[in-house]
Structure 1
């Protein structure tokens, strides 16, 4: 295989990984509003593995300076760069959505705690008795 073919196959692999990362990002976008933490954790783990694989491919591309001058790879390089920009923008949007959902969850939790505290203090004040207050049972 020549230098150009190796560079093209490496860039094709990079494009495939970027497509898989884009699919995982869209999956995250669906899981966040539903608050499916197990699914989010699983998808983030898979996405991290893909990012590590992408880093290895990028190192391979950067490690071969002869590939930069190989004919016919410039369209693939531009396609990979545009796909990377799209993924970064979509990832920013998903991250913003996750931050908003986190704030919503925190507000709900705070309201729940306040409600529970008010209920425990004012609705059932004799729920917790001091130890040693068994006047009627001792005789």
Structure 2
């Protein structure tokens, strides 16, 4: 009975980790939407840490063995499967959103660089003609 309680505790901990991963993904999605890079490294480190914690939890669950499943463990396992599916969907959505945002930002940067280059060529052509000459020179 004690091993079943340990397994239920590990399953609950796994649910907590999955919820933390989902919250982290939501924050990453918001940061990408706002084009904020400032907090992304911290979020990605936290995401990696949570995944490491999840793998350690999985190893402990595997060490627990496959004893007969209690009804509580079965319910928790169903909830875990649903959360994992939602997490995978959110993760793929985040990757798609990031790819679209990357394309959008690169397009805006190219447009800005082209405008800057055209403006610089126009200004420099006049600067070359007037360099070294006095504008109000009598002559």
TM-score norm. by structure 1 comes to: 0.83
Query: Quick check: 1:101 aligned with 2:73?
Result: no
Q: Which residue of 1 aligns with 2:136?
A: none
Aligned length: 132
Which residue pairs with 1:82 in the alignment?
82
Give 1:16 deviation, angstroms. Answer: 0.4
CA distance in 1, matches of 2:45, 2:20: 13
Could you list the structure 1 runs, at least 4 aligned residues long, displaced by more than 4 angstroms after superposition: 126-129
RMSD, aligned CA: 2.3
Q: Measure, in 2, the Cα distance between the counterparts of 1:84 and 1:116.
A: 47
Give CA deviations for 1:73-118 in whole Å, capped at 9, x if unaligned: 1111111111010011011112211111111110011111111111
Aligned to 2:69: 70
Moved more, 5-14 or 51-60: 51-60
Change (3 A) 1:104 1:77: same
Distance 2:46 2:93 in 1: 19
Describe the shift of the 1:126–1:76 C-alpha distance in structure 2 as closer, same or farther (beyond 3 A). Answer: same
Unmatched segments (≥5 aa) in structure 1: 135-139
TM-score by length of 2: 0.83
Distance 1:97 1:52 in 2: 25
Asked if structure 2 preserves the Cα contact closer than 8 Å seen for 1:21 and 1:50, the reply is yes
- In 1, Cα distance between equivalents of 2:122 and 2:128: 12
